[in-house]
Amino acid sequence: MISDPTAAERARQTERAGFLAAAGLEGARLAALPADASPRRYFRVEGAPEPRLLMDVPPGSADFPPFIAIAGHLCRLGLSAPRIFVADAARGLALIEDFGPDTFTRLIAAGRPEAPLYSLAVDALVALHTAPGALALSLPAYDFGPLTEELVMFTDWYVPAVDPAADIAAFRADFLALWHEALADLAGRREAVVLRDYHVDNLMVIAGRTGVAACGLLDFQDALTGSAAYDLVSLTQDARRDLAPGLEDALVARYLARRPQIDTARFSADYWLIAAHRHTKIAGNFERLSKRDGKHGYLVHIPRVLRLLDRALDEAGLTAIRAFLENRLPGWRDYTPTHAGGA
């Protein structure tokens, strides 16, 4: 067993080199891409005849087979997920299509107008939600299981950060009971593939492609079946950035205009309930990423997440949950996150 992290990485480098050699890319150089919140790593393959990435996940990772299956499914629907050229699930390595550097985030930072990019992302969602056979892939349901697991990130990581003296077990039991009642209808939705992390960091513009195929999709291995409103919330109420005033409303209107058969009142109710649930989860997850994984950069976004949560609680009519938070976690909206190395 290898206990030295340096030795472990050297062994992994050897595995990667052997994988590339077996794929006909012996001697190819690898350039690591910036890491995200997941344990997956990506390397740009330099010297390949066509753009390729090497995806490296912990061997035996549960999300490797779903990534391969969902990528193929999205491509068959006419959307742009990375094509898979070679995959070895046992070793956690795959050679996949490289969409290049143009994430929506980078393009917007470089001055590209945000509205056309967001509109493209909405159109891609509509295509996903209306394509024949979109639900033909077997996926887990976004039911009380994952919905509850996500709320526990808030009770077990965010709550003690705000109030170290809180009785977490009691808080968790009462908080989850309120949410279980609020989510009873939503937990039964099976109307769309939910990619779950549909935001500008995971969307790309692919040169040479037109229509919704120009929108590259990343980070979809945790997809479930649930409400069609979820990914629209993820896009328009981004934990990491503020949209221009009025853009959120315009994007929701664009989605609904392209799906005139939708019950707009039910969709709006789902939208705001999902928003409140998602922001609750993210506040906990960002604290967890900092304290458990040492990824402190996410803490800077918590004030935005709390503002979004504050609004969503009102829009969703979650008065009982708001009252519970005000009573049992005073100051939850005013928390300023810190870590041992500073803010």
What are the CB-based long-range contacts (under 8 Å, 24+) for 208-212?
209/80, 211/123, 212/78, 212/79, 212/80, 212/120, 212/123, 212/124, 212/127
Q: Which residues pair with 81 in a beta bridge?
A: none
How many Cβ atoms are within 10 Å of 182's Cβ, its own excluded? 18
Count of H helices and E strands in the chain?
Answer: 12, 9
CA atoms within 13 A on the CB side of 19: 25
Tell me which of 87-91, 210-214, 264-268, 307-311 is least confident: 87-91
How does residue 2 score in pLDDT terms, banded at 50, 70 and 90? very low
Cα angle vertex 142, ends 34, 92, to 5°? 40
Mean pLDDT (the chain) is: 94
Q: Please give the single-letter amino acid code of residue 207.
A: A
The pLDDT value recorded for residue 342 is: 42
Average pLDDT rounded to a whole number, residues 244-270: 98
Instruction: Give the end-to-end CA distance of the chain in Å, rounded to a whole number.
Output: 38
Give the per-residue pLDDT at 37: 58
The per-residue pLDDT for 338 is 78
Lowest mean pLDDT: which of 53-67, 147-161, 173-187, 188-202?
53-67
- What percentage of residues in the chain have a pLDDT greater than 70? 96
Give the confidence band of 169 by pLDDT, cuts at 50, 70, 90. Answer: very high
For 114-152, the pLDDT digits (tens) are: 999 999 999 999 999 999 999 999 999 999 999 999 999
Cα–Cα distance between 40 and 218 in angstroms, integer?
Answer: 12
Q: What is the pLDDT of residues 110-124, one digit of tens each?
A: 999 999 999 999 999
Q: How far, in Å, CA of 240 to CA of 295, rounded? A: 15
What pTM was estimated for this model as a whole? 0.92
What is the predicted pLDDT for the residue at 341? 45
Cα–Cα distance for residue pair 45/30, rounded to 1 Å: 5
